[in-house]
């Protein structure tokens, strides 16, 4: 699982290093195996050469002896010669009769030894059953490996006379030194190769992944709402070129789709806005029409209460006209982008100033830092706080025994955090996803544009607004934006 989390560049790098390490281990293993095979061949061939030379010397002694050439006379024939032969050829020489009993040995002081006293029946049988009448036994003792060859000695008539035994110690010191020296040289060579492989792996992995990183960066930068640049790579592999062409085709299609979507959204927004404006304006027009019609039917210049009725009629019309004016102002404020007349503000002071206009005595202000500075438009910041506090006031039922609204300002890393918390009726679960949508409202009055406008302002200043709410327990709105 951890391997899957590694980047492609790291995987390529480690793959090449592992391949070099595996190759070096395999070559070292093959080298050691080859040296062992050559050592065995060397000892086998050397023993055979020694054996042929000693047999040639023994045959010469038998040919020149004055003793009768018989098995029983072998100790006399080789009484002194066996020491000379052993000294010349550098090997111990043992002579046995055909039944495997010791006749003569080149040991300086011969004592009865169980190792050379007699030949095992299995060896005698193996000698007699082979075509060459020769058998080699290999064994280890005290960490050393010995070969022991057994072969017939013949008289002048090619009749078996005795059995020649040559104990041969496999001395691998020289070969082992050569092997160690070779492995050292091989190690230096592979260390050099490892350094080159690391360098090549870094360059190759960077070359392979650089194009992919460029594509990944471009994909991460791709946005529906802005113009996206195509990728222009002059030299790349066929696979990368295919990927780049696919990305460029996607960008072209995305641009076309974005234009069509923006056009469709603008048209839809205007239609929705027109419907909403028409709906909101009709609401005050109806009572205005009814008032005018009622006044028209009941107008009597001779009526003593005519002035009172005209005054009531005027108040009704003025009230409805004010309603229409507030509707126009609400839509105007929502459509108007936040002014870019930014200035360095002390956030705590501005928030405190914004909530001072409210007369509710249950609004509490808390600030952890009275010197929090941010680059913001003063009017827009006051508008944000006013809308959030006004929403909290409207969310608290009139019959609430202990109403409470807490407005807080604090520092959170590189951000300024403003919180507005109330213990009102909260937001129902089905309404949480629509709370920032324009026109959405759960109140009997208002346009439903306040929170949408707040969100628009905050995001213009690279900030965010979130909320948590429990039904019938209260709501907490949190606004964050960069501080200086």
Residues 317 and 358 in one domain: no
Q: How far apart are CA 87 and CA 81, in angstroms?
A: 10
Per the structure, the count of domains in the chain is 3
Per-residue model confidence (pLDDT) at position 2: 54
CATH of the domain at 290: 1.10.287
Per the structure block, which two tokens stand in for 186?
């091989």
Q: State what percent of residues in the chain have pLDDT above 90.
A: 20
Confidence band, pLDDT 50/70/90 cuts, at residue 315? confident
Residues 474 and 430 in one domain: yes
Is residue 387 assigned to a domain? yes
Per-residue model confidence (pLDDT) at position 237: 62
CATH of the domain at 382: 3.30.565.10
Is residue 216 assigned to a domain? no
Per-residue model confidence (pLDDT) at position 314: 75
Q: 194 pLDDT exceeds 50?
A: yes
Is residue 31 assigned to a domain? yes
How many Å is the maximal CA-CA distance in the chain?
183
Per the structure block, which two tokens stand in for 46?
């050397």
Residues 6+ apart with CB under 8 A from 386: 354, 357
The position carrying tokens 């195996």 is: 33
Confidence band, pLDDT 50/70/90 cuts, at residue 422? very high
Is residue 206 assigned to a domain? no
Residues 169 and 254 in one domain: no
Residues 116 and 163 in one domain: yes
Q: How far apart are CA 420 and CA 212, in angstroms?
A: 46
Is residue 231 assigned to a domain? no
Residues 31 and 169 in one domain: yes
Per-residue model confidence (pLDDT) at position 434: 77
Per-residue pLDDT tens digits for 460-475: 888 999 999 888 888 9
Per-residue model confidence (pLDDT) at position 406: 94
Confidence band, pLDDT 50/70/90 cuts, at residue 442? very low
Q: 329 pLDDT exceeds 90?
A: no
Residues 347 and 311 in one domain: no
Q: 80 pLDDT exceeds 80?
A: yes
The position carrying tokens 């050592």 is: 39
446 vs 36, residue with greater confidence: 36
Per-residue model confidence (pLDDT) at position 380: 86
Lowest average pLDDT, out of 72-86, 210-224, 344-358, 400-414, goes to 210-224
CATH of the domain at 67: 3.30.450.20
Residues 250 and 378 in one domain: no
Q: 151 pLDDT exceeds 90?
A: yes
Per-residue model confidence (pLDDT) at position 54: 92
Is residue 411 assigned to a domain? yes
Per-residue model confidence (pLDDT) at position 262: 62
Last residue of a domain, one of 123, 157, 176: 176
Per-residue model confidence (pLDDT) at position 169: 85
Mean model confidence pLDDT for the chain:
79
Residues 78 and 137 in one domain: yes
How would you class 333 by CB atoms within 10 Å of its CB: exposed for 0-12, middle for 13-18, buried for 19 or more?
middle
Residues 159 and 260 in one domain: no
Residues 316 and 413 in one domain: no
The position carrying tokens 């019609």 is: 293
Q: State what percent of residues in the chain have pLDDT above 70.
A: 74
49 vs 5, residue with greater confidence: 49
Residues 31 and 13 in one domain: yes
Per the structure block, which two tokens stand in for 334?
């929502």
Per-residue model confidence (pLDDT) at position 278: 63
Q: Which domain holds residue 291?
A: 238-335
User: Span 351-367, mean pLDDT?
Assistant: 88
Is residue 220 assigned to a domain? no
Per-residue model confidence (pLDDT) at position 191: 84
Q: How far apart are CA 143 and CA 156, in angstroms?
A: 41
Per-residue model confidence (pLDDT) at position 4: 56
Q: 366 pLDDT exceeds 90?
A: yes
Q: Are 480 and 464 in contact (CB under 8 A)?
A: yes
Lowest average pLDDT, out of 48-57, 169-178, 280-289, 422-431, goes to 280-289
Per-residue model confidence (pLDDT) at position 1: 45
Q: Are 426 and 469 in contact (CB under 8 A)?
A: yes
Confidence band, pLDDT 50/70/90 cuts, at residue 330? low
Per the structure block, which two tokens stand in for 219?
């994909």
Per-residue model confidence (pLDDT) at position 335: 55
Residues 6+ apart with CB under 8 A from 278: none
Confidence band, pLDDT 50/70/90 cuts, at residue 348? very high
Per-residue pLDDT tens digits for 112-147: 455 567 888 888 999 888 888 899 988 877 777 888
Q: Are 439 and 277 in contact (CB under 8 A)?
A: no
429 vs 95, residue with greater confidence: 95
Last residue of a domain, one of 159, 176, 193: 176
Residues 473 and 352 in one domain: yes
474 vs 255, residue with greater confidence: 474
Per-residue model confidence (pLDDT) at position 235: 57
Phi, psi at residue 476, to the nearest 5°?
-125, 115
Last residue of a domain, one of 176, 195, 210: 176
Confidence band, pLDDT 50/70/90 cuts, at residue 286? low
Phi, psi at residue 375, to the nearest 5°?
-95, 100
Is residue 161 assigned to a domain? yes
């Amino acid at each position: 699982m951890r391997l899957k989390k590694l980047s492609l560049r790291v995987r390529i790098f480690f793959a090449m290093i592992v391949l070099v390490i595996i190759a070096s281990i395999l070559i070292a293993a093959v080298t050691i195996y080859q040296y062992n095979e050559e050592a065995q061949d060397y000892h086998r061939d050397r023993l055979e050469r020694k054996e042929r030379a000693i047999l040639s010397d023994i045959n010469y002694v038998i040919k020149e002896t004055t003793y009768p050439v018989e098995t029983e006379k072998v100790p006399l024939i080789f009484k002194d010669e066996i020491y000379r032969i052993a000294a010349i050829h550098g090997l111990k020489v043992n002579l046995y009769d055909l039944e495997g009993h010791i006749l003569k040995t080149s040991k300086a002081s011969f004592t009865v030894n169980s190792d050379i006293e007699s030949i095992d029946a299995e060896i005698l049988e193996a000698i007699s059953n082979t075509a060459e009448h020769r058998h080699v036994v290999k064994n280890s003792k005290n960490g050393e490996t010995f070969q022991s060859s057994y072969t017939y000695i013949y008289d002048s008539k090619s009749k078996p006379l005795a059995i020649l035994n040559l104990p041969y110690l496999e001395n691998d010191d020289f070969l082992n030194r050569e092997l160690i020296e070779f492995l050292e040289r091989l190690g230096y060579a592979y260390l050099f190769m490892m350094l080159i492989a690391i360098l090549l792996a870094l360059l190759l992995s960077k070359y392979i992944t650089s194009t992919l990183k460029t594509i990944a960066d471009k994909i991460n930068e791709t946005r529906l709402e802005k113009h996206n640049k195509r990728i222009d790579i002059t030299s790349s592999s066929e696979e990368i070129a295919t990927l780049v062409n696919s990305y460029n085709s996607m960008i072209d299609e995305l641009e076309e789709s974005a234009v069509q979507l923006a056009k469709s959204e603008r048209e839809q927004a205007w239609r929705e806005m027109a419907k909403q404006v028409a709906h909101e304006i009709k609401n005050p027009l109806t009572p205005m029409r009814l008032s005018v019609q009622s006044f028209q039917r009941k107008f009597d210049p001779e009526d003593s209460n005519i002035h009172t009725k005209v005054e009531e009629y005027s108040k009704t019309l003025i009230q409805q006209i004010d309603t229409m004016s507030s509707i126009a102002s609400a839509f105007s404020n929502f459509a108007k982008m936040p002014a870019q007349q930014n200035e360095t503000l002390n956030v705590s002071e501005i928030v405190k100033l914004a909530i001072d206009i409210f007369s509710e005595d249950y609004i509490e202000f808390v600030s952890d830092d009275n010197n929090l500075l941010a680059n913001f438009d003063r009017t827009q910041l006051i508008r944000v706080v006013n809308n959030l506090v006004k929403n909290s006031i409207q969310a608290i039922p009139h019959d609430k025994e202990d109403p409470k609204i807490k407005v807080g300002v604090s520092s959170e890393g590189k951000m300024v955090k403003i919180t507005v918390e109330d213990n009102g009726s909260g937001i129902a679960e089905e309404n949480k996803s629509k709370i920032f949508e324009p026109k959405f409202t759960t109140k009997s009055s208002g346009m439903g544009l306040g929170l949408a406008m707040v969100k628009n302002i905050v995001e213009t200043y690279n900030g965010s607004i979130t909320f948590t709410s429990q039904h019938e327990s209260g709501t907490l709105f949190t606004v964050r934006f960069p501080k200086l």
